[in-house]
């Protein structure tokens, strides 16, 4: 195994102390609900996610992934693993959008302390940084293109035809999200962040002029895309915790955030300051054009609003991670450092909001 391959394997650690549960009780439940599971169950935890704890289950019948809510008190409407299960199951059974096969959902908190679901483990590569240094040069542009092709395919799904017509409200997504994450931010606030206060005032007054409805993933980035082991293709979209019915351009803007964040800040996965041509990856305009081509669009309006909104929302999410870390309840060992970066995102969002349309579009 080459060093490059090692860095693209999902990182596994022993189950973190805060996220341990009764493994024998889980096995008993699985044997009743997945009869072929067998008598052996080995559990390790995936590292790298910031929210819902995720585990690798190794059993006689194969390898599976379990996702559960974090322990303890969580913010209202957050960590809805039941919704993750619903959207992954619908996409798996009715579309060609690449997702793992779901197995079982348990809504009984009495088994391992919170609701959880189990899906198939999929082998593949995960490369979190959009510079894609961990894969061959020749694969880098094709991977970014495949990410756009897959996103366009997701957004083209007829939600009513696959039973997801009730997965969210079909209109007003950005307005609702601004309101939701403003409340979540206020609930997890630990200090002053002037840029967030300014964005909370600016965004409701500058909502996108044109509404659309699609399945919005909510966290669409390279770190949540599983690449095939031997070619630049997407075999699975992961981490559906924030998914709902929403505006598709919000997903695109979120994917493009690295083009507006510094490369030299650990954990930001930014591309500002990188030589994109030398890296062999497309610039923001090429990425947008690929998405538009695959989704049949002639262009995108209010791009700066979607960028500012995406930065605001991610800042609110990271603030929540930070607040949970202070309570000893975050699922990632480095959550404290990650949460502290919320202010960088908020300031970038406010800068884009102030620049307006002219500052972003050529």
List pLDDT tens digits, range 184-203: 999 999 889 999 999 999 99
What is the enclosing helix (H) or strand (E) of 46?
Answer: strand 41-46
- Model confidence at 213, in pLDDT bands (50, 70, 90)? very high
Q: Is the pLDDT of residue 173 over 80?
A: yes
Looking at the DSSP assignment, which residues form a beta bridge with residue 215? 245
Superfamily of domain 8-120: Phosphorylase Kinase; domain 1 (3.30.200.20)
DSSP string, 70-121: PSS---TT---HHHHHHHHHHHHHH--S--PPEEEEE--TTTTSS-EEEEE-
pLDDT in tens, 132-152: 999 999 999 999 999 999 999
- Calculate the CA 73 to chain-centre distance: 22
Mean pLDDT score of the chain: 91
- Model confidence at 6, in pLDDT bands (50, 70, 90)? very low
Residues in the chain: 362
Looking at the DSSP assignment, which residues form a beta bridge with residue 106? 116
What is the enclosing helix (H) or strand (E) of 158?
Answer: none
Domain 137-360: CATH class, spelled out = alpha beta
Q: What is the pLDDT of residue 44?
A: 97
Inter-helix orientation angle 303-326/342-360, to 10°: 180
The domain locations on the chain are 8-120, 137-360
Q: What is the pLDDT of residue 73?
A: 62
* First-last CA distance in the chain: 44
Are 134 and 127 within 8 A, CB to CB?
yes
- Listed in sequence order, the residues at least 6 apart from 1 whose beta carbon sits closer than 8 Å to its beta carbon are none
């Amino acid at each position: 195994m080459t060093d490059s391959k090692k860095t693209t394997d999902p990182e596994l650690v022993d189950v973190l102390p805060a996220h341990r549960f009764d493994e024998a009780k889980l096995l008993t439940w699985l044997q009743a609900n997945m009869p072929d599971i067998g008598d052996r169950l080995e559990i390790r935890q995936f590292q790298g996610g910031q929210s819902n704890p995720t585990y690798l289950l190794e059993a006689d019948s194969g390898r599976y992934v379990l996702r559960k809510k974090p322990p303890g008190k969580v913010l209202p409407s957050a960590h809805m693993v039941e919704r993750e299960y619903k959207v992954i199951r619908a996409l798996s059974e009715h579309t060609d959008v690449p997702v793992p096969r779901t197995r079982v959902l348990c809504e009984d908190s009495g088994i391992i302390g919170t609701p959880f679901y189990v899906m198939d483990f999929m082998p593949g590569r995960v490369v979190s940084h959009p510079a894609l240094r961990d894969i061959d040069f020749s694969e880098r542009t094709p991977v970014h293109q495949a990410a756009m092709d897959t996103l366009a395919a997701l957004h083209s799904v007829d939600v009513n035809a696959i039973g997801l017509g009730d997965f969210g409200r079909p209109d007003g997504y950005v307005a609702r999200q601004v309101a939701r994450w403003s409340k979540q931010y206020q609930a997890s606030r630990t200090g002053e962040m002037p840029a967030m206060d300014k964005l909370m005032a600016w965004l409701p007054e500058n909502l996108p002029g044109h509404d659309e409805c699609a399945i919005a993933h909510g966290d669409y980035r390279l770190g949540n895309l599983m690449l095939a082991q031997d070619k630049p293709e997407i075999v699975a979209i992961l981490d559906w915790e924030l998914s709902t019915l929403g505006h598709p351009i919000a997903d695109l803007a979120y994917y493009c955030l690295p083009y507006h964040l510094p490369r030299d800040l650990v954990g930001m996965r930014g591309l500002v300051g990188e030589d994109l041509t030398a890296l062999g990856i497309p610039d923001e305009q090429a990425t947008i054009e690929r998405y538009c081509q695959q989704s049949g669009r002639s262009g995108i309006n209010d791009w700066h609003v979607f960028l500012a909104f995406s930065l605001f929302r991610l800042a609110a999410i990271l603030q929540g991670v930070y607040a949970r870390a202070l309570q000893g309840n975050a699922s990632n060992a480095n959550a404290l450092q990650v949460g502290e970066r919320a202010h960088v995102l908020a300031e970038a969002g406010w800068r884009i909001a102030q620049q307006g349309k002219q500052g972003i579009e050529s």
